[in-house]
Structure formats: C-alpha cells, structure tokens
Amino acid sequence: MELLEILALKMGCEYLSDLRRIPRPNDALRSAAAQLPFDAFPAREWLDAAEYLCREKCQSAEDARNAVLSF
C-alpha cells in the first residue's frame, strides 16, 4: 500500500481525493504521518504526498516529509 493510501485509510477517507478536503491545519493528519516510518516508503512517495497534499514540490524526501508533517 502506498503512503497516500495509508494516510487516507488512517483518516477514514472513503476516497484518496478526500484527503484534500480535510480541514487545515489538521493534527490527526500530522499525527498519522508522523507515525509512519520515514524509510518505509520510497522517496518518490514522500515527494508525491507533499505535492498532492501541500501542493509543494520538494527537492528531497526529507523535505517532503517535513512539509507533510507541518501541513
């Protein structure tokens, strides 16, 4: 299962696109992302998550994870 799919599942979203409809800021989303081990997902998935959720193009997976955590 991919990172965004897991986040959607943890947030109780029926569809992946529902992640974008979650009110911001959202402590539950941050907490769900923080519980996921950084190295459990390829860099591309963190980069995709930051772009999809935060609408940010990050240069590294670490920057992308930080963007998701501060989202």
Q: Alpha-carbon distance 69 to 50, whole Å?
A: 9
Q: Report yes or no: 45 and 3 within 8 Å, Cβ to Cβ.
A: yes
41-71 confidence digits (pLDDT tens): 999 999 999 999 999 999 999 999 999 998 8
Q: Alpha-carbon distance 47 to 65, whole Å?
A: 8
pTM for the model: 0.90
Q: Alpha-carbon distance 41 to 21, whole Å?
A: 24
Domain positions in the chain are: 3-69
The alpha carbon of residue 68 and the mean position of all alpha carbons in its chain are separated, in whole angstroms, by 5
